[in-house]
Structure 1
Amino acid sequence: MSNRSHSIEFKLEVIQAYNQEMYSVRELCSKYQIHVTSLYEWIEKFEKAGKQGLVSSKKWRTYSDTLKEAAVTDYLSGSYSLHEVVRKYNISTKSVLRGWIKKYNSHRKLKDTGKGRTNSMAKGRTTTWEERKEIAIYCMKNGKNYQETADKYKVSYHQVYHWVKKYELDGAEALKDNRGRTKMESEWSPEEKIKVQMKRMEWENERLRAENEFLKKLEEIERRRK
């Protein structure tokens, strides 16, 4: 399938053809040379925000080194596909992620994008223990989307990332004092590793439940078309 960018008019034409039941999903994707995931993404965005939701951003995207490393680690874990990681971390394209993976596998450092970083990437703010708990829990319940969480709560990406890691390792109590560094995974004891694995399983189950709900929604759309 083509990876070229598509105009709003093109996306609207595809969605209109889909809604008018002119073709099956497979026929539609073949006719317009698009991937089925693109089709469903456009439908979802159009339902949420109308025509404006189909607008492609022309702004230069910036990413922190922490975000890049987290995205690459998630993909290399085998738990997520390229598409899932791109969606989870709000990365502009799969090719951008592939570039990070290639660099990471070549043992080269993943650096901040550079000038023009957003405020949430560049600096944080002072927070209370209650805020840190709320932010960590929100992030974990929403697929560990660190950047979206940082934007929502007006804190830095790095803050969210480290609060989640602390919460996973030692629970809410670990967030009472936000000074000091977070342990690296290689420093965890066997008991700590088991604790984190259990937490990750809980959040993964929640993520899978959310994905199943999304698939049910798509299936319902398909049933209404028949």
Structure 2
Amino acid sequence: MSKRAYSVEEKYEILTALDKQYSPGELESKYNVHRSTILDWKHKFDKYGFEGLKESSTWKKYSKELKLAAIRDYLSGKYSIREIVELYEISSTSVLRRWIKKYNSHRDIKDTAQGRTSSMTKGRKTTWEERVHIVMDCLGNGKDYQKAADTYQVSYQQVYQWVKKFEDGGDEALKDKRGKKKEDASLTPVEKISLHMKKLERENERLRAENLFLKKLEECDRQVDCYNYCSLF
């Protein structure tokens, strides 16, 4: 396959052809570009519009922790390689494949040496209360990670990781663990009880958010069933 650079206009032309029911395989032959590259362009265009089709002159920066998390999630067999790329906002499937190849070869996975933090994926520091609130909102909206990221001006990756941590360990898992043992040791019995009560309150809040979303789905199903029934007459 050709390694040449494609302009934004050329990429858009190919994606337009994809929308016209051409398969990635057909476009691969017609435009001499690998189908995985076409699907990468489609993901970026769907998410960022024409900005996502522009070539960056600098490398995107990834931490060692993010790389390892993405690799392990893929190797778990629960996600496809494209799902991992979307969840972790990796620039392309070929980048993830390089990480996996290096990992399987028992070579050291390191932080990206230098690069940029894209405005499209830029995160920010948050408090524990903010993280819990964002997770509750995301769960209440059916895990729409991008919507939560846009609403609270954080990255898609941050929201995804917070929700995953919350589901594994509750709101305590969203805390900054630095100095935690010292902090817990200094709590009085009354403070520990108060902390436990707050944890129960947040668990109830999470259940209410999930129940609200399920009710929304049931209402949509009823509306669809009603429409289908009425269309018979």
So what's the TM-score if we normalise by structure 2?
0.53
Amino acid aligned to 2:11:
K
Unmatched 5+ stretches in structure 1: 183-201, 203-226
Unmatched 5+ stretches in structure 2: 181-209, 211-233
Residue 169 of structure 1 corresponds to 168
Whether the 8 Å CA contact 1:124–1:159 is kept in 2: the answer is: no
Larger radius of gyration: 2
Among 141, 144, 148, the residue aligned to 2:143: 141
Q: CA, structure 1 residues 14+134, in 2 after alignment: closer, same or farther (shift >3 Å)?
A: same
Task: Report percent identity of matched pairs.
Answer: 45
SS at match of 1:108: coil
CA distance in 1, matches of 2:159, 2:50: 34
> How is 1:33-112 mapped onto 2 (pairs within 5 angstroms)?
33-36=32-35, 38-39=37-38, 42=41, 46=45, 51-112=50-111
CA distance in 1, matches of 2:4, 2:52: 18
Shift of 1:39: 4.5
CA distance in 2, matches of 1:52, 1:165: 29
CA distance in 1, matches of 2:102, 2:50: 36
Q: Name whichever of 35-44 and 86-95 sits farther off.
A: 35-44
Residue 6 of structure 1 corresponds to 6
CA-based RMSD: 4.6
CA distance in 2, matches of 1:8, 1:111: 32
SS at match of 1:57: coil
SS at match of 1:103: helix
CA distance in 2, matches of 1:124, 1:84: 24
Whether the 8 Å CA contact 1:135–1:160 is kept in 2: the answer is: no
The count of aligned residue pairs is 176
Shift of 1:61: 1.0
SS at match of 1:141: coil
CA distance in 2, matches of 1:50, 1:60: 20
Amino acid aligned to 1:13:
E
Amino acid aligned to 1:141:
K
SS at match of 2:66: helix
Shift of 1:76: 0.8
Shift of 1:47: 6.3
Post-superposition Cα deviations, 1:162-214, rounded to whole Å, max 9, x if no partner, equal: x5564233322554x533589xxxxxxxxxxxxxxxxxxx9xxxxxxxxxxxx
CA distance in 2, matches of 1:58, 1:91: 16
Q: Does 1:31 align with 2:30?
A: yes
CA distance in 2, matches of 1:91, 1:72: 11
Q: CA, structure 1 residues 15+111, in 2 after alignment: closer, same or farther (shift >3 Å)?
A: closer
CA distance in 2, matches of 1:46, 1:122: 18
Whether the 8 Å CA contact 1:8–1:51 is kept in 2: the answer is: yes
Shift of 1:159: 10
Whether the 8 Å CA contact 1:133–1:172 is kept in 2: the answer is: yes
